[in-house]
Structure 1
Amino acid sequence: MKKATIHEIARSLNIDSSTVSRALNDSPLVKKATKDLILKKAREMGYKRNLLASNLRRNKSNTIGVIVPRISRHFFSSTIAGIEEAAYKDGFNVIICQSLEQLNREQRIVENLLQNRVDGILISVSMETLKGSHLEQCAVTDTPLVFFDRHIKDLPYSGQVLIDDFHGGFVATEHLILKGCKKIAHFTGPKNLEIYKNRLAGYRSAMEEHDLENNGNLILPSSLMESDGFKLVAKLLDTVGDVDGIFCANDLVAIGAMKGLKALGKTIPDDIAIVGFSNEPISEIIEPSLTTIDQNGESIGRLACEMLLRQITRTDKMIRNKTVVLTPKLIERESSNRR
């Protein structure tokens, strides 16, 4: 069925189209009786306002773009829940996109969002993202930009809502030390991403503080998929041998490591204790349940969205270059509960 237009409503009532337009926009210049007549006819004809055209005239879309590496990850789905809650409260729509950890896909998404005139962008960058050159267009177009979780350091026109990854790495590693582990490995992520640099720094700091070895053989990088964890434990035990603890930079690689250790006949946590990072739902139900660091994704998403909206509405001109850091907490479960 064809959508009714303002001109068709005007013709059906023999009223000027400008009067119809003002009535539909609730203008005080139109008498109440005329306005009621026009609104009744508009409902009868199934008229719907063209919000896109209206927004373009106002140079405002009431829409924000959100870019995450993978929607399937519980952490990112929970951040999206927080983002949508804050956006809905302020009358904004959300476009959700996923980079699938690919830089070229992330670049195209940013370009498309800017072409579609979103009012702002929230982004957690892909594992391939080394620099923020593709995000510089946000500054050129005066489009507010806020990073959450994964970020690019020293972009002067962006805000950030982050987890204290150094603290999380330190607490996770020290927890293993306090459980009696003496030789602790770390399964880290790509070294270009700040979050993994900081989690590694926290691991090293805890090891140094307790006078424990943390040489290069104990630090193994990967893309942090479950399959990586399975392979890395075999490599670790083959090259080092007497490891009794592993701190993993996310839960997926930790779960893969647990499966690999079981396949090699190792008992968790008595032979090797494990701590993950992110508190995925599966971490609580696997056997043994996984000790992990909880990031509180919903709070990160909500705070990042609120920061972006304040910049969009110009209620806080100091948002750019502002950083909010949240403190993660350890969730102790069976995988580190050594006898």
Structure 2
Amino acid sequence: MREHKPDKSEISIVDIAEALNVSAATVSRALNDNPRISEATRKRVKDKAEELGYRHNSMASSLRNKRSNIIGMIVPRISMYFHAIFITALQNRLQEEGYSLMVCQSNDSESIEQKLAATLYSSRVDALVVSLALYTEDYKHFDGFTKQGIPLIFYDRVPTKTYAAHIIKGDDYRGGLLAGNHLIETGCSKIAYISGPLSCSIYKERTEGFQHALDKAKIKLERKWCFYQELTAENAWNSLRQIFVGKERPDGIFASNDTTALAAVEFAREQGIKIPDELKIVGYSNDPRASIISPPITTIDQHPVEMANRVAQKLLNLLKDKSLRAINDTREIVPVTLVRRMTT
């Protein structure tokens, strides 16, 4: 019998069936390791599928089964330490349960975030996990998920307004409070503050906690020493140059991420400012770089693995039991801890 060689670009199970002179149903069962098909036939079918370049159409399969076993995810930037650790832990946990994680990054752009939400919705993901972009304050691009009862979980950077979604976040208010109290307890009375934009939930809450600590100690937060910006190394250096321009200088800095705290240590070294004698620094996130720089930086640990495990468990519960999907802005808070090192 002359072997059938399809000339079209996409190979189907029908093409494999014709090449082997078996039914399409047999091919389908063999490709899915159905025990009704002998091991020899399964191997024969899979070998022919590989030879012909067959690709399984998971989209078509999900349409038939009404599930894709894919969890969509939108993160601000994959390169950020917290999110890199979180993604790895979440993926590992979901893979144990047979789910794949489709990770997309918004690059902190609300417009990209909106397009990604639409793409993942069209891709029929079984659920969506999101950490919002810096300036996202309108969440209607996620409405399709909530209206269709598709599990939606916000983590870390979450809506600042009431929104019907499951939320699992760090205790950022307490993180700011811990940082402020620690600087005060170590003798600081003139404290500078470099934060992210207050449109973002984590920086809004860290600021509230930090301000509470200062208010309680009756310490004024000088406006000229406060910056609310994207927390890049370049922005940090620009802020530090402005903070240390005059004769009056702070004796403490709370940086809302470790990238900024690292810049502060390098800046102090360049300027001949002694740490911690003349300047104390607290960062946020417990980035590994904070522990290896000299001196190592006091920081707030967000426990990304614990947060990922909580998100994974919530997802699995929602996917297994549809009755749990009724949502009314439920919130779960992951504790944070102060890690004291040599900058304080």
Amino acid at match of 1:281: P
- Answer yes or no: is the 8 Å Cα contact 2:30–2:45 preserved in 1: no
The CA distance in 1 between the partners of 2:205 and 2:245, in whole Å, is 27
Aligned twin of 1:81: 88
More moved, 83-92 vs 311-320: 311-320
2:256 corresponds, among 246, 249, 252, to 249
State the 1:258 CA deviation: 2.3
TM-score of the two chains, using structure 2 as the length reference: 0.87
The CA distance in 2 between the partners of 1:138 and 1:155, in whole Å, is 16
- Answer yes or no: is the 8 Å Cα contact 1:172–1:293 preserved in 2: yes
Matches within 5 A, 1:207-246: 207-238=214-245, 241-246=248-253
Matches within 5 A, 1:305-316: 305-314=312-321
The CA distance in 2 between the partners of 1:283 and 1:164, in whole Å, is 20
Aligned twin of 1:326: 334
Matches within 5 A, 1:283-294: 283-294=290-301
> Which SS does the other structure have where 2:73 is aligned?
strand
State the 1:58 CA deviation: 1.0
Amino acid at match of 1:157: A
2:289 corresponds, among 282, 285, 293, to 282
1:152 corresponds, among 150, 154, 159, to 159
Aligned twin of 2:146: 139
2:190 corresponds, among 180, 183, 186, to 183
State the 1:292 CA deviation: 0.3
Q: Does 1:102 align with 2:105?
A: no
The CA distance in 1 between the partners of 2:162 and 2:99, in whole Å, is 25
> Which SS does the other structure have where 1:269 is aligned?
coil
Identity %: 31
> Which SS does the other structure have where 1:213 is aligned?
coil
Paired residues, what number?
A: 332
Q: Does 1:335 align with 2:340?
A: no
The CA distance in 1 between the partners of 2:254 and 2:191, in whole Å, is 7
Provide closer, same or farther for how the CA distance between residues 191 and 332 of structure 1 changes in structure 2, counting only shifts above 3 A.
Answer: same
Provide closer, same or farther for how the CA distance between residues 156 and 116 of structure 1 changes in structure 2, counting only shifts above 3 A.
Answer: same
> Which SS does the other structure have where 2:343 is aligned?
helix
The CA distance in 1 between the partners of 2:60 and 2:11, in whole Å, is 15
- Answer yes or no: is the 8 Å Cα contact 2:59–2:123 preserved in 1: no
Aligned twin of 1:165: 172
Consecutive unaligned residues in structure 2, runs of 5 or more? none
- Answer yes or no: is the 8 Å Cα contact 1:307–1:319 preserved in 2: no
TM-score of the two chains, using structure 1 as the length reference: 0.89
Tell me the C-alpha RMSD between the 2 structures. Answer: 2.5
Amino acid at match of 2:337: K
Aligned twin of 1:124: 131
The CA distance in 2 between the partners of 1:50 and 1:238, in whole Å, is 62
- Answer yes or no: is the 8 Å Cα contact 1:124–1:148 preserved in 2: yes
Provide closer, same or farther for how the CA distance between residues 248 and 40 of structure 1 changes in structure 2, counting only shifts above 3 A.
Answer: closer
Provide closer, same or farther for how the CA distance between residues 233 and 36 of structure 1 changes in structure 2, counting only shifts above 3 A.
Answer: closer
More moved, 275-284 vs 213-222: 213-222
> Which SS does the other structure have where 1:334 is aligned?
coil
Q: Deviations over 1:177-216 (max 9, x none)?
A: 1111111121111011121111111111111222222243
Amino acid at match of 1:280: D
The CA distance in 1 between the partners of 2:250 and 2:305, in whole Å, is 35
